[in-house]
């Protein structure tokens, strides 16, 4: 590993695995540019990155412990005091670590509000400059942008024309933002497509399990080659077959890359990291957005209107819905290569 003693803390939010997975190419680019990444997170996001980069050092941060609520906007509002407390705690942890480790030269925070410091240059990663929340969109966007402005730079994982994020990433001159291209941990491979339908589950509970049960019931005893990746990061990796369906509790990046490249159709949530991964691998996808999660609902509708990928809600899904894919182009984009100039911020202090 070609690294120096210049350390960069990289801290993804533990909300599903999307924030952690899109940090993978950034971590690899840091190593390629002779920085030493220090991973900072909690829960499944931390466990996932431990498995991806077992030789790196880690900081366990206080958990936001955001629990699911039927109304996500109301749920986040009610949990705001708890989130604010975690933000203040993680800020203390990060500043203490920097003071004890003088070779830390920067921070990259993926949606963790408190992972920043005046001692080093701090970057915030988000595709949501604008946070959609219905009638309160102006308010939620205002507060998020207020947080973003406390960082030295904001990196937006998309092309400059907001190809996949749409109005979510529309920015203004008051934010020092950079479009850094479409991020994915995966590489496109020309493999034989042996998997007819690949189901990739992710997200917070109980929604993940609800979707799992719905789709298992729908594809039970289907004659096609159906594979489920449950998105449950556990100590041991498991594989089993039930009702002609092949199951994996989780797959590490190279294994999931092989499965997606080998699939004809992918069913998953319309989370932004999933969209970027499938675009780089140029796949046909059917999306089932998480109910009441405005961002996923917007992205699914945005891509459907552009005739890129169809979607429906969980209650309306049947396997016959997959026939709609013939009317859509699928997700396609060239892989983005992170430019070494992106890290020039960390060389100025």
| Per-residue pLDDT tens digits for 327-345 | 999 999 987 889 889 999 9
- Ranges of H-type helices in the chain: 18-21, 24-32, 43-52, 72-78, 80-100, 137-148, 207-219, 253-261, 272-280, 294-305
Coil, strand, or helix at residue 111? coil
**For 277-305, what is each residue's pLDDT tens digit?**
999 999 999 999 998 888 999 999 999 99
Q: Dihedral sign, CA of 209, 253, 129, 331?
A: negative
Q: Over the chain, what is the mean pLDDT?
A: 91
C-beta of residue 177 within 8 angstroms of C-beta of residue 153: yes
- Ranges of H-type helices in 136-201: 137-148
Give the C-alpha separation, 153 to 333, whole Å.
Answer: 25
Give the C-alpha separation, 57 to 134, whole Å.
Answer: 41
- Confidence band for 136, pLDDT divided at 50, 70 and 90: confident
Q: How far from each other are the two terminal CA atoms of the chain, in whole angstroms?
A: 24
User: Which residue in 82, 83, 61, 74 sits closest to 10, CA to CA?
Assistant: 61
**For 103-131, what is each residue's pLDDT tens digit?**
999 999 999 999 999 999 999 999 999 98
Beta strand pairing call for 263-268 and 285-287: parallel
Burial class (CB in 10 A: 0-12, 13-18, 19+), 129: buried
187 CB neighbour count, 10 Å cutoff: 12
Average of pLDDT values for 84-100?
Answer: 93
- Confidence band for 252, pLDDT divided at 50, 70 and 90: confident
Give the C-alpha separation, 229 to 3, whole Å.
Answer: 34
Give the C-alpha separation, 53 to 24, whole Å.
Answer: 9
pLDDT cut 70: percent of the chain above it? 94
DSSP per residue over 257-325, as a string?
HHHHHTEEEEEE---HHHHHHHHHTT--EEE-PPTT-HHHHHHHHHHHHTTS--B--GGG--GGGGGGG
Position 339 scores a pLDDT of: 84
User: Which residue in 281, 248, 284 sits closest to 264, CA to CA?
Assistant: 284
Q: Whole-model pTM?
A: 0.89
CA distances 217 to 14, 206, 269, 308, Å, are 29, 17, 18, 27
Average of pLDDT values for 171-188?
Answer: 92
Burial class (CB in 10 A: 0-12, 13-18, 19+), 318: exposed
17 CB neighbour count, 10 Å cutoff: 23
């Amino acid at each position: 590993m070609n690294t120096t003693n210049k350390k960069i803390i990289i801290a993804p939010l533990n909300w599903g695995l999307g924030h952690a997975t899109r940090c993978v190419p950034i971590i690899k680019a840091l190593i390629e540019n002779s920085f030493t990444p220090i991973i900072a997170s909690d829960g499944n996001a931390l466990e996932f990155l431990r498995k991806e980069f077992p030789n790196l050092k880690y900081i366990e941060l206080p958990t936001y412990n955001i629990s699911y609520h039927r109304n996500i906007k109301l749920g986040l509002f009610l949990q705001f005091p708890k989130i604010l407390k975690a933000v203040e705690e993680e800020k203390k942890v990060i500043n203490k670590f920097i003071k004890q480790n003088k070779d830390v030269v920067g921070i990259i925070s993926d949606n963790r509000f408190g992972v920043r410091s005046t001692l080093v240059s701090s970057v915030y990663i988000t595709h949501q400059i604008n946070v959609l929340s219905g009638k309160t969109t102006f308010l939620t966007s205002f507060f998020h942008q207020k947080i973003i402005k406390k960082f030295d730079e904001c990196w937006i994982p998309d092309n400059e024309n907001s190809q996949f994020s749409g109005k979510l990433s529309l920015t203004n001159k008051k934010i020092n933002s950079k479009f850094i291209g479409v991020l994915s941990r995966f590489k496109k491979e020309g493999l034989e497509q042996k998997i007819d339908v690949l189901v990739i589950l992710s997200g917070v509970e109980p929604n993940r399990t609800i979707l799992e049960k719905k789709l298992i019931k729908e594809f039970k005893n289907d004659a096609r080659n159906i594979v489920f990746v449950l998105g449950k990061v556990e100590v041991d990796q498991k594989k089993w077959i039930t009702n002609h369906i092949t199951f994996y509790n989780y797959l590490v990046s190279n294994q999931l890359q092989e499965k997606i490249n080998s699939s004809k159709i992918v069913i998953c949530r319309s989370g932004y990291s999933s969209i970027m991964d499938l675009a780089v691998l140029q796949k046909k996808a059917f999306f089932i957005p998480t109910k009441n999660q405005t961002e996923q609902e917007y992205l699914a509708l945005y891509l459907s209107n552009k005739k890129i990928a169809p979607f429906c809600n969980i209650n309306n899904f049947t396997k016959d819905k997959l026939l709609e894919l013939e009317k859509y182009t699928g997700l396609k984009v060239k892989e983005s290569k992170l430019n070494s100039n992106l890290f020039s911020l960390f060389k100025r202090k």
